[in-house]
Every structure is written in C-alpha cells, then in structure tokens.
C-alpha cells in the first residue's frame, strides 16, 4: 500500500465479522473515522475512534482503546490493556481498564472508572494524528519496512499483518446500524460474514459464503462472491452486477450489465439495461 493512501477511504469488513444482537464482533482491530455513528456496540482487539464518533452500545477491546475528543459511548467501555480518552469524551456506563489510563479534560464517565495501572490526566494526542506522527517518525529514522508493516496491519492485512486479523474499518461520516450501513466510499466485505442491515456505498465487493440480511445498493459496480446469500435487492445506478457461483438473491436485481455465475439464483425480477450473461458449469465431452 502506498504511503499516500488514506486508510479511511473505504468501508472494510474483514473475514468472519458478525453483527450479533447488539454488537459488531471481529477478531482484529476496529478503526472508525471521525464523526461516524455506530449504533452497535463493538468487540475487537484494539478499538480506535476519530473525533465526534458515537457508539450506541458498549466497547470491549482486548487490546488498547483510543477515543478522540467528543466521542460518545452509550454503555460500558472494557479495555484489556491501555485506554486513551480525549477531552470531552462521554461514557454513559462504566470504564474498566486493565492497564494504564490516559485521560483528557472534561471527560464524563457516568458510572465511574477503574484502572489497574497509571492514571494520567491530560489531553492525549488524537488517534489519527497519533498514527500519522508515528508513521512519520518511522520514515524519518529510515524504518521504511516497519512503516509499511504498520500500514498493512491497519488497512490491508499484508503478509506480515498482526495475527489477530485484518481490521474492521469504518470511514468518516458513516452511519452503521441494524437498518443500514451508509457510507460515501467503496465497501469491501470479506468472507463468511454475517451482517444485518442494507449496505449503501459507492461500489460494493462482497466475498464468499456471506449471509447479509439486507439489500445491496451502489452507484457503481456490485460484485458478490460464491455461496453468498443476500436477503434483499441488489441494485446499482450506473454500474454492473456480478453474481458468483451459487449466489442467492432473495429480492430483485437492477443494473446496467448483469453476469450470473453457475448456480446463481435470483428470486425476484432481473432488470438490466445492457447485457445479461449466464455462465454454466463445465460438462464432460460425450
């Protein structure tokens, strides 16, 4: 990944992510851009949120938790290592930190807090600023490989990514709830995910064996991988739709060009302004 790339320019849902009754659960890190609203609670390794982010449930981080200024959490925050809270963060529940707590001015924790390590009251550096300052430091001292590994861990899950898995990345100004995932960026969904809500994005690339309880709608192309089940419509304004082998869409499909893989099923109506291509399985020659 190039150093000039923005790590928050895409919704990225890693393999195995599930939207349970109240929480988004993933094995890796959770990175949320500024001024986003996540109506779920989140459970992951490290949880990092930009300025003005709002969470509608609790946060459970087995590693660190870093919340920028003006963040709001509607329930408890449980942290397995260290916590960093910017000024004017509001937590409606309690805060429990197994390690150190770095806390800014005017932080409100309604049900009290507990930290087993050091407690420092100051204004921690904002999360995104911290990441880029750390990257700049690595580059200045000539540690290009270390900087590349950090970017890979945070965004692409490269060859030397952290063993906890790829991060769940929610871009700036996003809205995520059990009704809809709304972003103005491309969206990439990994394999074997279970998600609730309609996905609205610039383009959508869904992996294999997912179960998505909602529709997919994009301005551009939509691609759905093998064995995925969509409990709703698949529509695009100006792009094409590609359904992999054994995909099932329980609603309608509307697009410019439509490609159906072997065994793909659409229960509703298929509307395509351009071409419809239907692939078949290979058969032995008689």
Cβ atoms within 10 Å, residue 12 = 24
Find tokens 């058969």 and name the residue. 283
Q: How many CA atoms lie within 13 A of 132 on its CB side?
A: 9
Instruction: Choose among 25, 69, 13, 71: nearest CA to 188.
Output: 13
Q: Give this prediction's pTM.
A: 0.82
Q: Is 275 exposed, middle or buried (0-12, 13-18, 19+ CB in 10 A)?
A: exposed
The per-residue pLDDT for 136 is 61
**pLDDT value, residue 8:** 72
Burial class of 108 by CB neighbour count within 10 A (0 to 12, 13 to 18, 19+): exposed
pLDDT tens, N- to C-terminus, the chain (286 residues): 333 345 678 999 999 999 877 899 999 999 999 999 999 999 999 999 999 999 999 999 999 999 999 999 999 999 999 999 999 999 999 999 999 999 988 999 999 999 998 888 776 555 555 665 566 666 667 766 766 666 666 554 444 444 457 899 999 999 999 899 999 999 999 999 999 999 999 999 999 999 999 999 999 999 999 999 999 999 999 999 999 999 999 999 999 999 999 999 999 999 999 999 998 776 555 5
Q: What is the pLDDT of residue 266?
A: 96
């Amino acid at each position: 990944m190039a150093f000039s790339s923005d790590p928050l320019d895409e919704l990225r849902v890693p393999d195995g992510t599930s939207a349970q009754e109240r929480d988004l659960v993933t094995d890796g890190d959770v990175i949320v851009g500024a001024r986003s609203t996540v109506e779920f609670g989140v459970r992951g390794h490290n949880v990092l949120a930009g300025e003005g982010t709002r969470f509608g449930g609790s946060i459970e981080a087995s590693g660190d938790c870093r919340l920028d200024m003006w963040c709001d959490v509607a329930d408890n925050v449980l942290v397995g290592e260290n916590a960093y809270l910017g000024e004017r963060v509001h937590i409606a529940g309690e805060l429990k930190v197994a390690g150190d707590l770095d806390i800014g001015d005017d932080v409100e924790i309604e049900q009290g807090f507990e930290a087993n390590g050091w407690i420092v009251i100051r204004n921690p550096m904002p999360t995104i600023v911290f990441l880029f300052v750390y990257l700049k430091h690595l580059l200045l001292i000539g540690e290009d490989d270390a900087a590349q590994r950090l970017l890979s861990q945070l965004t692409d899950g490269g060859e030397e990514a952290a063993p906890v898995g790829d991060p769940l990345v929610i871009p700036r100004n996003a809205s995520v709830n059990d009704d809809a995932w709304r972003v103005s960026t491309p969206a990439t969904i990994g394999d074997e995910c279970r998600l609730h809500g309609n996905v609205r994005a610039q383009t959508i690339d869904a992996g294999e064996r997912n179960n998505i309880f909602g529709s997919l709608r994009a301005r551009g192309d939509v691609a759905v991988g093998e064995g995925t089940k969509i409990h709703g419509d698949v529509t695009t304004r100006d792009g094409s739709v590609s359904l992999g082998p054994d995909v099932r869409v329980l609603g309608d499909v509307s697009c410019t060009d439509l490609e159906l893989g072997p065994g793909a099923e659409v229960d509703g109506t298929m509307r395509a302004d351009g071409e419809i291509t239907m692939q078949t399985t290979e058969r032995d020659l008689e």
